[in-house]
């Protein structure tokens, strides 16, 4: 019985599942080897099916449906045969565009949100810098006011979709006030003079996702491209982070479930000492334990969705969910790989890729330690500075 999804949600689930099976999974090997998936090609197909703007207003081409449809989308993407492509999609739908949709001007939404929903352009979120990852308040990329424009200088690091993006949702300093004050979120088209991709990064996993270092050398952007009021960027980005973390958790739950079920099948087929591996109590108990933890995480994620949909603040709970997801994914990856024996260690089996990809969850979108700090702050046990 589902408490959260009605028949229409389930029909939608079948449609997304078919999309993943037909349009993503058959190409994963090729895209992983190429170290990039063709975002423009794939996003256009998704835009045509209405998958890129489920909760965004119909006025800009969105579907205006309830957030549970987005839950379904993320859950089904999480079942894909790699984490890289779902991550690139979620960056576009749940990390680079929520602030634009909620706080952008009508003109900005017409120029950037509408084509993003249609799948005509690819978006990226540019917050982290070489010297500022966990400590977002330490960013140095500067947008200096000049007439009606900003002139942007600096560098961004680790940017997912970074080599393919048509626009960035960029967090930059718009005043010299230190710390979290004086930052703004600005939409930056990547065809603007002075913007360049410095380098694409080679990574441990998530190979089909392009991650890049970006450079800004006197990039001139109209101030009208700012999302919301000047100086509100940090606050808007902190809000956007909650949505990003929730998306990461929802995708991870189904990813873990898939890999555990694959392990169950493997342990049923594989015999040692005259009986199936799964008949060993250590193995079926351990798998039962992992499935229990995954289910508990799913329910925490659904609770976060309910709080968010009701207009509440889910920051503490989504931080707990993100922390748990990162740690649990590592445990699932390690345990399931172990139960595969040597087959867990070879590239011809999906296990090795999952092991690599899952490691990112404790780092990207805010590390485990940053989640612990947020939880401690909400519990009023974080020491003052
Ligand atoms: C594959 C990939 C994709 C990414 N995509 C994007 C993207 O699209 N856009 C974007 O803006 N960013 C992106 N990131 C960046 C990501 O958000 C950062 O890597 C992350 O926030 C950590 O920052 P850092 O790497 O600078 O680590 P650091 O901040 O240098 O931290 C290093 C270690 O120290 C710990 N640490 C830091 N401060 C404390 C403290 N006060 N107490 C205890 N421990 C602490 C951290 O938890 C971590 O374990 C991506 C990263 C990766 C690897």
Token pair, residue 169, equals 């949702």
Nearby residues of 159 by Cβ (< 8 Å), 6 or more positions away: 124, 125, 126, 128, 165, 168, 211, 212, 213, 214
SS3 string, 229-250, reads CCCCHHHHHHHHHHHHHHHHHH
How far is the centre of ligand 1, averaged over its atoms, from the C-alpha of 154 (Å)?
18
Which tens digits make up the pLDDT trace of 81-115? Answer: 999 999 999 999 999 999 999 999 999 999 999 99
206 pocket-lining for ligand 1 (C-beta < 6 Å): yes
CA 48/CA 56 separation, integer angstroms = 15
Q: Return the best residue to mutate from 84, 206, 364, 365 for the ligand 1 pocket (most ligand atoms within 8 A of CB).
A: 364
Per-residue confidence at 322, pLDDT binned at 50, 70, 90? very high
Residue 7 annotated to the active site: no
Which tens digits make up the pLDDT trace of 286-299? Answer: 999 999 999 999 99
Token pair, residue 208, equals 């089909």
Residue 166's CB is within 10 A of a number of other CB atoms, namely 18
CA 121/CA 162 separation, integer angstroms = 13
- pLDDT of 180: 85
State the average pLDDT over residues 139-159.
98
CA 297/CA 285 separation, integer angstroms = 19
CA 126/CA 366 separation, integer angstroms = 14
Which numbered atom of ligand 1 lies nearest the CA of 132? 26
The DSSP 8-state label assigned to residue 129 in this structure reads B
Which tens digits make up the pLDDT trace of 198-234? Answer: 999 999 999 999 999 999 999 999 999 999 999 999 9
Phi, psi dihedrals of residue 205, rounded to the nearest 5°: -145, -160
How far is the centre of ligand 1, averaged over its atoms, from the C-alpha of 238 (Å)?
15
Which tens digits make up the pLDDT trace of 336-363? Answer: 999 999 999 999 899 999 999 999 999 9
Model's pTM, two decimal places?
0.98
Question: What's the Cα-to-Cα distance from 240 to each of 94, 193, 357, rounded to whole Å?
Answer: 8, 28, 23
Which tens digits make up the pLDDT trace of 120-147? Answer: 999 999 999 999 999 999 999 999 999 9
List, as one string, the DSSP characters of 38-71. Answer: -HHHHHHHHHHTT-S-TTS-GGGT-----HHHHH
């Amino acid at each position: 019985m589902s408490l959260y999804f009605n028949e229409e949600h389930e029909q939608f689930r079948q449609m997304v599942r078919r999309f993943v099976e037909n349009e993503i999974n058959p190409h994963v090997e090729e895209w992983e080897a190429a170290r990039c998936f063709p975002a423009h090609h794939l996003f256009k197909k998704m835009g045509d099916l209405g998958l890129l703007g489920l909760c965004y207003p119909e006025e800009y081409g969105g579907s205006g449906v309830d957030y549970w449809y987005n839950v379904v989308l993320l859950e089904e993407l999480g079942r894909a045969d790699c984490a890289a492509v779902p991550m690139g999609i979620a960056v576009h739908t749940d990390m680079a565009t929520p602030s634009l949709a909620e706080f952008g001007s009508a003109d900005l939404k017409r120029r950037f949100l509408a084509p993003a929903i249609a799948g005509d352009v690819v978006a990226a979120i540019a917050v982290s810098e070489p010297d500022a990852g966990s400590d977002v308040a330490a960013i140095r990329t500067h947008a200096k006011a000049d007439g009606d424009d900003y002139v942007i200088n600096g560098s961004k690091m680790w940017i997912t979709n970074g080599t393919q993006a048509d626009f960035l949702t960029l967090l930059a300093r718009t005043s010299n006030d230190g710390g979290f004050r004086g930052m703004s979120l600005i939409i930056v088209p990547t065809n603007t003079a002075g913007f360049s991709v410095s380098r694409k990064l080679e990574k441990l996993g998530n190979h089909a996702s392009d991650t890049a270092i970006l450079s800004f050398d006197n990039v001139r952007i109209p101030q009208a491209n700012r999302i919301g009021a000047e100086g509100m960027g940090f606050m808007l980005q902190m809000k956007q982070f909650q949505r990003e973390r929730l998306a990461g958790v929802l995708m991870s739950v189904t990813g873990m479930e898939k890999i555990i079920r694959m392990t169950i099948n493997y342990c049923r087929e594989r015999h040692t000492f005259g009986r199936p591996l799964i008949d060993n109590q250590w193995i079926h108990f351990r798998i039962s334990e992992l499935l229990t933890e995954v289910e508990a995480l799913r329910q925490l994620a659904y609770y976060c969705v309910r709080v968010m949909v009701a207009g509440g603040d889910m920051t503490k709970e989504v931080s707990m969910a993100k922390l748990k997801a990162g740690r649990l994914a590592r445990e699932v990856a390690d345990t399931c790989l172990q139960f595969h024996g040597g087959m867990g260690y070879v590239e011809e089996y999906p296990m090795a890729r999952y092991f690599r990809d899952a490691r990112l969850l404790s780092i990207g979108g805010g590390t485990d330690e940053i989640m612990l700090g947020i939880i401690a702050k909400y519990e009023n046990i974080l020491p003052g500075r």
